[in-house]
Structure 1
Amino acid sequence: MITALRRVVKAGFVGFWRNTYVALASVFVLTVALFVIGATMFLDQLLSTSLQTLKSKVDINVYFVPDAPEEEVERIKNAVASLPDVASVDFTSREEALQRYRENNKDDEISLQALEELDENPLGATIAIQAKETSQYESVARFLEEQRELEQPQTPVIDEINYARNKESIDTLTTIIKAVEQASLVVMIILLTAAVLITFNTVRLAIYTAREEIAIMRLVGASNMFIRGPFMLQGIMYGVISGVLALLMFYPLLIWLGPRTEAFFELNLFTYYVAHFGEIFGVLVGIGVVLGLASSILAVARYLRT
C-alpha cells in the first residue's frame, strides 16, 4: 500500500514537471480564476461595510415633552430596547440635550440669549433607536405609536416620533440594500460558474495530452485508482500553487487600494487583508484545490470509461 502510494506521488510530481507548459497554463488559468473569486470576496466586503455604514446613519428619534416623568421615559426606553428588531437605543437626557443645543448654536447669540431668558430648560429627553435591519423600522414605529395611544390626553409623554419624516429615506435605503445584495449574489454566482468551467476545460486539456499514457496503463492492467492518483495529485498542486499566487497578487494591489477604499468606503482593504490573511488563504487555496482536484477526477473519468 505504501509502495503504491509512493509510486502515485512520484508519478504525479514527474507528470507535473514533465509537462511544464501544460502545467503552467493550468496554473495560470486557475490563478486568474481564483484572483477573480478573491476580488469578488473583497468587493462583497466593501459593499457590506458601505451598507452597514448607511444603516448606522438611519434611526428613529423619539422626542419626549419637557415635563415627561422620568419613570415613564425610562419605561418606554426599556420597552423599546427589549424589542427583537432593535439593535441599540441611545438616550439623551434633558440636560445633555440643552448642552448639545448650546454647543451647536454657540455662534448664534440671539438663540443663546433667548434661551437664557427662559426660566427653565425647554428641551425634553430623546431616544435614538437603530433597528437591526432598515425594513424593521416600520414595526418599531408602530410599537411607539401604540405606546403613544396608551397615554392620558392630559399627561402626554411622547411629543414627536420622526419616523414619518424619515420614512421615504428609510424605504429608499431598504430598496437599495436589497438590490445591491441581490446583484452581488448574482455576480458572484456568474463568476464562480465561469471559473469552474474555465478551470475544468483547462485541466481536461492538460490530461488530454496524457491520453495515450492512460491507455497504455490500462492495457498493462493498472487499477483505476493508480491511473487516477497522479492526475489527482497534479490537480491538488495546481490548486495550491494557484491559490498562493492569487493571494500574493493581492498584496501590492491592496497596498495601493487600501487608503483609497478607506477614504470612500471607510474600510482599508489592505488592513482587512492582513487581519484576515489566514481565512482568505484558506478560502482561496481550498477553492483552488477543490477545483483542481474535481476537474482532474472528471477529466480522467472520461478516459477510464472508454
Structure 2
Amino acid sequence: MTTFKRILKLGWKGFKMQSGFSLATIFIMVMIISVVTSLFLLQETTNLLVENIEEKVDMAVYFDKEFSADEIMEVKKELSQVPEIKSIKYVSKDEALQKFSERHKDDKVIMESLEEVGQNPLLASLNIRAWEASQYENIAKVIENSSFASHISKMDYSEKKPAIEKLFSITASINKAGIIFSAILALMVLIIAFNTAKLAIYNFKAEIETMRLVGASNWFIKGPFLVQGAICGFLAALIAAVLFTAALFFVSPKIELIAPGVNFFGYFLENIFIIFLIQLASGVGLGVLSSWLAVRKYLKV
C-alpha cells in the first residue's frame, strides 16, 4: 500500500514538473478524444438514419378476392414464425380503398374512375417489414414456396427490389467505411500518443537509471509514468466533454437545417453518460497504454 501511494505521489509530481509537456499531451489527447467521440456519434446517427429509411421500406403481398379475411389472418399467423420478419400488418380492402382515396382526392380523373367502377377494385394485403434490407429476398422466396402461394395475386417485391438492394448496398458501404476509418484512426491515435509518451519518458531517463542502480523494481519505475498517462487522459476527457457539449449546442441546429431529423445535440444529451464513459475510457486507457508501451519498448525496463 505504501509503495502504491509513493507511485501515485511520484506520478503526480512528474505531471506537475513537466506541466508544459503535460499540457501539450492533454491538448493532443483532447483532439484525439474529440475525433473518437465524433466518429461514435456519426456512426450512431448513421445507424439511426438507416433504420429510419428501412422503416419506410416494406413488401406488400396482395391476395385474390376469393381469399377471405380469416384465411389471410391464418397466413399472417404462419408468416409471423419467419425469423427475418419484423412486423406484419393486415390491410383490408376497405382500408386500402380509404387510403387510396385519401391519397388521390385531388385527382378528379382517378376519383371519377372509381365512381364508374361502382365497387372496390382493390385487394386485401399483408404489409411485411424485415429486420434488415438484405432479408427481403429470403422472405420473398419463403412466400413463393408457401402453401398459400396459389392465392397470391401480386407481390411487389420485384418492383421494390432495386430500391431495397440499393439500401442494402448503402448500409453495407457505410458499415464497411466506418470499420476501415475506425481502424486507421485507432492506429494514428496510438502512434501519436505513443510518441508523445516516449518524449515525456525520455526526459526522465537519468532518473530511471538512478532508480535502477538503487534496486527499484520494474513496476516502481513504470508506475509513475502510468499514473501521469492516466492523469493526462482523465483531464483530457473532462475538457473534451465540456468542449464537445458546447460545440454541439451551437452546431446541431445548423446541421438539422441541412439534414432534417438529425439532432446531434439531442442524441448526445440522451446518451451523455455512455458517451462520457467512452471519452473517459479512451483518455485514461490511451494515456496508460501509450505510457506502458513507451516504457517497455524504449527504456527496456
Give yes or no for contact 1:211–1:303 (8 Å, CA) kept in 2.
Answer: no
Count the aligned residue pairs: 300
SS in 1 for 2:119: coil
How has the CA–CA distance of structure 1 residues 261 and 79 changed in structure 2, closer, same or farther, with 3 Å as cutoff?
Answer: farther
- What is the CA–CA distance in structure 1 between the aligned matches of 2:242 and 2:4, rounded to whole Å? 32
- What is the CA–CA distance in structure 2 between the aligned matches of 1:248 and 1:10, rounded to whole Å? 28
Give yes or no for contact 2:198–2:298 (8 Å, CA) kept in 1.
Answer: no
Is the aligned partner of 1:106 residue 2:95?
no
Partner of 2:215: 221
Give yes or no for contact 2:73–2:90 (8 Å, CA) kept in 1.
Answer: no
What does 1:15-164 align with in structure 2 at a 5 Å threshold?
15-147=14-146, 150-151=149-150, 157-164=151-158
1:98 aligned partner, one-letter code: L
What does 1:220-239 align with in structure 2 at a 5 Å threshold?
220-239=214-233
TM-superposed CA distance for 1:146, in Å, is 2.1
TM-superposed CA distance for 1:283, in Å, is 0.9
SS in 1 for 2:128: strand
Give a deviation string over 1:7-50, Cα, whole Å, max 9, x none.
22221111111111111111111111111111111111122122
**Structure 1 length normalisation: TM-score?**
0.91
Give yes or no for contact 2:63–2:152 (8 Å, CA) kept in 1.
Answer: yes
Give yes or no for contact 2:58–2:129 (8 Å, CA) kept in 1.
Answer: yes
1:221 aligned partner, one-letter code: G
- What is the CA–CA distance in structure 2 between the aligned matches of 1:97 and 1:303, rounded to whole Å? 73
TM-superposed CA distance for 1:150, in Å, is 4.8
TM-superposed CA distance for 1:109, in Å, is 3.6
**Structure 2 length normalisation: TM-score?**
0.92
Partner of 1:199: 193
TM-superposed CA distance for 1:240, in Å, is 0.6
Give yes or no for contact 2:69–2:92 (8 Å, CA) kept in 1.
Answer: no
- What is the CA–CA distance in structure 1 between the aligned matches of 2:112 and 2:3, rounded to whole Å? 93
Partner of 1:295: 290
Partner of 1:249: 243
Give a deviation string over 1:37-67, Cα, whole Å, max 9, x none.
1111111112212221222222111122334
How has the CA–CA distance of structure 1 residues 257 and 79 changed in structure 2, closer, same or farther, with 3 Å as cutoff?
Answer: farther
Give a deviation string over 1:158-200, Cα, whole Å, max 9, x none.
2110111111222222222212211111011101110011001
TM-superposed CA distance for 1:234, in Å, is 0.6
Give yes or no for contact 2:232–2:287 (8 Å, CA) kept in 1.
Answer: yes
- What is the CA–CA distance in structure 2 between the aligned matches of 1:52 and 1:5, rounded to whole Å? 49
Q: List alignment gaps of at least 5 residues for structure 2.
A: none
Partner of 1:283: 278
Give yes or no for contact 2:86–2:131 (8 Å, CA) kept in 1.
Answer: yes
Partner of 2:163: 169
- What is the CA–CA distance in structure 2 between the aligned matches of 1:235 and 1:289, rounded to whole Å? 7
**Further displaced range: 183-192 or 57-66:** 57-66
**Percent identity among equivalent residues?**
34
Give a deviation string over 1:77-131, Cα, whole Å, max 9, x none.
2222221111111221122112112212222344334434445322221221111
Partner of 1:190: 184
TM-superposed CA distance for 1:204, in Å, is 1.1
- What is the CA–CA distance in structure 1 between the aligned matches of 2:99 and 2:149, rounded to whole Å? 31
How has the CA–CA distance of structure 1 residues 265 and 188 changed in structure 2, closer, same or farther, with 3 Å as cutoff?
Answer: farther
